[in-house]
Amino acid sequence: MNRSLAASIRVLLSTCLALAATLAVAADPAGETLKAVKARNVFVIGYLQDAYPMSFVNKEGQPAGYSIDLCLAIAEDVSKAAGLDSIKIKFVPLKLEERFDAVATGKVDIECGTSTMTLSRMKKVDFTNTIFLDGGSFLVKKGSAISSIPALVDETVAVIPGTTTEKSLREALAKKFVKAKVMEVKNHAEGMAALESGTAGAYASDRVLLVGLLLSTKNTENFAMMNEQFSYEPYGFAVRRNDADFRLVANTALARLSRTGQVFKIFDHWFGAIGKPNPGLLSMYLINAIPE
């Protein structure tokens, strides 16, 4: 073998080794959530503070809700998967506009709120299996003439920007050629204030959150919810992309809740005053009951 050929082979081998090392780093999940949890002995849960009854702060100042209960069940499986006898849980309050960045950057290990799974959001985060099914609707004042999308002509509709509800609302208005003013509000409290003061004729959000607002407001009798549903909102918990091991742990816990029927106890605790799971939600629970 001449020196020129040997030198070429050495260069080629060096390049291949460097490429292999680069690929190994790229294949290593950015989050590796289970390793991070084990190293710090803390499972970090991101949550919303005002999304009653899904994710909110209760009278004792603690995170609570349907989503929180599901994530606490996931925490038990995370502890076992990380090889820990016990695990500490840290709750981090998140704003709607920062929740996916918080997951992607590792600020939180999982986001337990009311996030609708969309393909565009999957460019930044992954999602667990579906945890709830919902749809967009409106709250109006009792006695209002607003009863459907067409009735919103020349009316003002309040909605939180950057949500799937806002996008679906604008699409629904355009589809039915309804000219209405869409007023952006920061949160549910501001949306309800706009509705109560008359600044807005309707407040748009997911039905479960609107029901929560009705149950928690002091003047429930002053408001009504429209029957019309203008969007499909499948909720999931946001987790970091390319972290299959952690996602499997989360889905295993969710599947067990469905198989054992524990999820119905959680549902009844938070929604018993409203009624039983609708056929769509029952089907979702059945689909989620994946065998071990």
- Taking only the tens of pLDDT, the chain with its 292 residues reads 555 444 444 544 454 444 444 433 333 443 489 999 999 999 999 999 999 999 999 999 999 999 999 999 999 999 999 999 889 999 999 999 999 999 999 999 999 999 999 999 999 999 999 999 999 999 999 999 998 999 999 999 999 999 999 999 999 999 999 999 999 999 999 999 999 999 999 999 999 999 999 888 888 888 999 888 999 999 999 999 999 999 999 999 999 999 999 999 999 999 988 888 999 999 999 999 999 9
Listed as own residue / partner, the contacts of 52-57 with beta carbons closer than 8 Å and 24 or more positions apart are 52/209, 52/212, 52/213, 52/215, 52/216, 53/208, 53/212, 53/215, 53/270, 53/271, 54/113, 54/114, 54/132, 54/208, 54/209, 54/212, 54/235, 54/270, 55/112, 55/113, 55/114, 56/212, 57/93
Per-residue confidence (pLDDT) for residue 26, from 0 to 100? 38
Q: Report how far residue 117's alpha carbon sits from residue 107's, in angstroms, rounded to the nearest whole number.
A: 20
Q: Report how far residue 202's alpha carbon sits from residue 137's, in angstroms, rounded to the nearest whole number.
A: 10
Q: Report how far residue 191's alpha carbon sits from residue 184's, in angstroms, rounded to the nearest whole number.
A: 8
Task: Work out whether strand 223-225 and strand 233-235 pair parallel, antiparallel, or are unpaired.
Answer: unpaired
Residue type for 223, please? F
138 by DSSP, 3-state: which? strand
Per-residue confidence (pLDDT) for residue 221, from 0 to 100? 86
Candidates 135, 132, 110; CA nearest to 285 is 132
Q: Report how far residue 133's alpha carbon sits from residue 210's, in angstroms, rounded to the nearest whole number.
A: 14
Per-residue confidence (pLDDT) for residue 227, from 0 to 100? 85
Q: What is the CATH number of domain 33-133+235-288?
A: 3.40.190.10
Q: Report how far residue 136's alpha carbon sits from residue 117's, in angstroms, rounded to the nearest whole number.
A: 14
Q: Do domains 33-133+235-288 and 136-231 have the same CATH topology?
A: yes
CATH architecture of 136-231: 3-Layer(aba) Sandwich (3.40)
Per-residue confidence (pLDDT) for residue 8, from 0 to 100? 46
Candidates 221, 235, 227; CA nearest to 280 is 235
Domain ranges of the chain: 33-133+235-288, 136-231
Provide the β-strand partners of residue 51.
55
Cβ neighbours of residue 34 under 8 Å, at least 6 residues apart?
78, 81, 82, 245, 246, 249
Contact 52, 216 (CB under 8 A): yes
Contact 211, 229 (CB under 8 A): no
For the whole prediction, is pTM greater than 0.85?
Answer: no
**How many other C-beta atoms lie within 10 A of the C-beta of residue 50?**
17
Neighbour-count burial of 260, counting CB atoms closer than 10 A to its CB (0-12 exposed, 13-18 middle, 19+ buried): exposed
